[in-house]
Amino acid sequence: MANDIQSIEDLLQFTGSKSTTKEASEPGEESAIEKFDEKMSEVRLKEKEVAAEKQAATLNIPYVNLKGFPISPEALRLVPKERSLETKAVCFLFTGPEIRVASTQPEVQVVQDLLHELQERHKANGALYKISEESLRVATKAYDTLPQIKEMVKGVQVTDEELEQFQKQLKTYEDVQKVMDGASVSDIMTIVMAAALQFGTSDVHVEAEQEKIAVRFRVDGVLQEVAKLPHDFWKKIVARIKLISGLKINVTNRPQDGRFTIFLKAGDTDVRVSTIPTTWGESVVMRLLKPSSINVEFGQLGYRPLAEQKLLKEIQKPHGMIITTGPTGSGKTTTLYAILRKLNEPEVKIITLEDPIEYKLAGINQSQIDQEKKYTFAGGLRSILRQDPDIVMVGEIRDLETAEVAINAALTGHLMLSTLHTNDAAGAIPRFISMGVKPFLLAPSLNAIIGQRLTRRICEACKEPFTPDEAQMTFIKKVVSEIPEASGEKVGPESEWKLSKGKGCETCNGSGYKGRVGIYEILTMSEEIKASLSEKISEYEVRELAKQQGMTTMQQDGILKVIDGFTTVEEILRVAGEGS
């Protein structure tokens, strides 16, 4: 190893002391002025090299001149051109056990983080060198002469062997901290991703606090703190996350969005990364987009039989709008994708417009909006309608322009699916009107509005019968008594109720819950509701009219699922509240 290093340094010294200049031309080919300009240009470049060399000595960092240095494609391939220009750094030597990186600003933290990342990823010894701007220009120009160089794969290579090894160690949340203690930054990222997959995590939160870094997992909709790391780790951890997700390392004062992939034999998992500046650093949230989590068939969504029949009748109509409502993380996208799968037939043309496309659906044309190129929901929807679709899904209706295009599509022979951010189904109609949609257009275009939430499901491994206290039983009876007769829902006697709870076991990490089940309310546009629409109609009036037509609320649907033994009163109160 020592001999190898010595030979590398000899090569650097040799190539660094040489400079390639343009060979002299034949007499008479260039004017005296041109020769003078060329000579002065060489002098200026030489002066810049000398200045760079002196600065390197001041910084106590080795200097290299890359003009004439044989930079291999393998070395260039380690850092994409975009990253090289951003950090003003280039990997100019890679032998396997050794990596050399040169930069015009080697003292800057982002460059040092880049070297650290390369060392960690390739398990190699590394060193940082100072170069001049001219050397950097020559080195980055090499990217253009080597078209076979591809962008660095943005991902975390968690092998199945590593995953299996960590899974044996990660039985509880407390085990994550034990495994992380003493691990390198690269290993910490691998451990975090392996644990996230192990525990069925939907989102990983990495947050800088005053004295520590908190790592939290959102499991079944609830955040769990799984580890604390020293605050000194922050720069390296956030640099690692940004590098693999294609974010700018040196941008810390504004939000950024990126993406990377966890590669596994069983199937790749995309991870959507979001960062925002905070008091003590940046908050990083990584959403795991597992294909299995969205691969839910319509019949598995958890609708009660009567509600399912009602919704099926609406989605089978050839035109009109189906809207899902609820906050972020309430399962709206899962519901829409399940409906699309139900409707996806060879003779049906389906196009979606999303921001971003989180999951790929076979047999469906998916298009992603791009604000920078002015490809918006409204503009994209107009283009989509020229593609002769039968069914269109728009990720979200955010403004009047998008709403008007969507409504016109629903009125002209298209089935339109979309989402709206409101608390419940009844709130969607006043929301549309507040955007500026005319009630006389809304009435004939809407088919159904779905309000939904996700509640944690009782763990089947430790499920046991449960007798609620007096307050809970009073609440259950009150909600049951308010279920509209027109809904057709029949509740059996108390002796047939299957009230249960989870005792807590290794399968559910002691929580008593494993997985989630949806609670829903489906508002269909009856003639009475259509006739009552005006610019002054309130959410309360819409809800009362819907109840009179037989709509069960999310809270009532939840309590029916409590009676059936799927979830608990505490969960219904947590996600749907005490009101109805």
CATH number of domain containing 64: 3.30.300.160
C-alpha–C-alpha distance, residues 350 and 384, integer Å: 10
- The CATH number of the domain holding residue 250 is 3.30.450.90
Same domain, 258 and 298: no
Same domain, 181 and 277: yes
Same domain, 124 and 136: yes
The pLDDT confidence band at residue 358, using thresholds 50, 70 and 90, is confident
According to the model, what pLDDT value does residue 9 have? 52
Same domain, 322 and 250: no
The two three-digit tokens of residue 458, written as one number:
């009782």
- Structural domain harbouring 77: 2-18+31-144
Same domain, 435 and 548: yes
Give a yes or no: residue 12 inside a domain. yes
Predicted confidence (pLDDT) at residue 146 exceeds the cutoff of 60:
no
Domain boundary among 125, 144, 163: 144
Predicted confidence (pLDDT) at residue 186 exceeds the cutoff of 80:
no
The two three-digit tokens of residue 565, written as one number:
């033994």
The pLDDT confidence band at residue 545, using thresholds 50, 70 and 90, is very high
Predicted confidence (pLDDT) at residue 57 exceeds the cutoff of 90:
no
Give a yes or no: residue 23 inside a domain. no
C-alpha–C-alpha distance, residues 162 and 190, integer Å: 9
Give whole-number Cα distances, 35 to 11, 18, 23, 199, in Å. 32, 22, 12, 70
Stretch among 229-243, 316-330, 411-425, 544-558 having the lowest mean pLDDT: 229-243
C-alpha–C-alpha distance, residues 351 and 333, integer Å: 15
User: Can you spell out the DSSP letters for 389-425?
Assistant: -SEEEES---SHHHHHHHHHHHHTT-EEEEEE--SSS
The pLDDT confidence band at residue 59, using thresholds 50, 70 and 90, is confident
What percentage of residues in the chain have a pLDDT greater than 90? Answer: 50
Same domain, 326 and 423: yes
Give a yes or no: residue 321 inside a domain. yes
C-alpha–C-alpha distance, residues 504 and 461, integer Å: 9
According to the model, what pLDDT value does residue 13 have? 52
Predicted confidence (pLDDT) at residue 24 exceeds the cutoff of 60:
no
Predicted confidence (pLDDT) at residue 216 exceeds the cutoff of 70:
yes
According to the model, what pLDDT value does residue 212 have? 92
Residues ≥6 apart with Cβ < 8 Å to 37: none
- The CATH number of the domain holding residue 448 is 3.40.50.300
The two three-digit tokens of residue 181, written as one number:
């203690």
The two three-digit tokens of residue 429, written as one number:
């109609």
Same domain, 426 and 492: yes
The two three-digit tokens of residue 78, written as one number:
């380690």
The two three-digit tokens of residue 488, written as one number:
């057709």
pTM of the full structure: 0.72
The pLDDT confidence band at residue 62, using thresholds 50, 70 and 90, is very high
Same domain, 115 and 258: no
C-alpha–C-alpha distance, residues 394 and 296, integer Å: 19
Give a yes or no: residue 285 inside a domain. yes
According to the model, what pLDDT value does residue 155 have? 59
Give a yes or no: residue 411 inside a domain. yes
Same domain, 87 and 44: yes
Could you report the per-residue pLDDT of 433-474, keeping only the tens digit for each?
Answer: 999 999 999 999 999 999 999 999 999 999 999 999 999 999
C-alpha–C-alpha distance, residues 531 and 300, integer Å: 35
According to the model, what pLDDT value does residue 139 have? 86
According to the model, what pLDDT value does residue 153 have? 46
C-alpha–C-alpha distance, residues 564 and 456, integer Å: 14
Instruction: Provide the phi-psi class of 530: left if phi over 0, else alpha when psi is between -120 and 50, else beta.
Output: alpha
Report yes or no: 220 and 515 within 8 Å, Cβ to Cβ: yes
C-alpha–C-alpha distance, residues 152 and 505, integer Å: 42
Could you report the per-residue pLDDT of 260-291, keeping only the tens digit for each?
Answer: 888 777 777 889 999 999 998 899 999 998 87
The pLDDT confidence band at residue 43, using thresholds 50, 70 and 90, is low
The pLDDT confidence band at residue 39, using thresholds 50, 70 and 90, is low
Query: What is the three-class DSSP state of 452?
Result: strand
The pLDDT confidence band at residue 171, using thresholds 50, 70 and 90, is confident
Domain boundary among 267, 289, 311: 289
Give a yes or no: residue 149 inside a domain. no
3-state secondary structure 19-46: CCCCCCCCCCCCCHHHHHHHHHHHHHHH
Give a yes or no: residue 150 inside a domain. no
Average pLDDT (33-42) is 58
What percentage of residues in the chain have a pLDDT greater than 70? Answer: 89
According to the model, what pLDDT value does residue 16 have? 46
Same domain, 159 and 124: no
Based on the structure, what is the number of domains in the chain? 3
According to the model, what pLDDT value does residue 25 have? 46
Residue with tokens 């709008």: 321
C-alpha–C-alpha distance, residues 554 and 159, integer Å: 42
Domain boundary among 289, 317, 339: 289
The pLDDT confidence band at residue 54, using thresholds 50, 70 and 90, is confident
C-alpha–C-alpha distance, residues 531 and 254, integer Å: 48
Give a yes or no: residue 182 inside a domain. yes
Same domain, 283 and 312: no
Same domain, 406 and 422: yes
Question: Residue 543: which H helix or E strand, with range?
Answer: helix 539-548
Could you report the per-residue pLDDT of 284-334, keeping only the tens digit for each?
Answer: 999 998 877 777 888 889 999 999 999 999 999 999 999 999 998 899 989
| Mean per-residue pLDDT of the chain | 85
According to the model, what pLDDT value does residue 274 have? 95
Q: Tally Cβ neighbours within 10 Å of residue 560.
A: 21
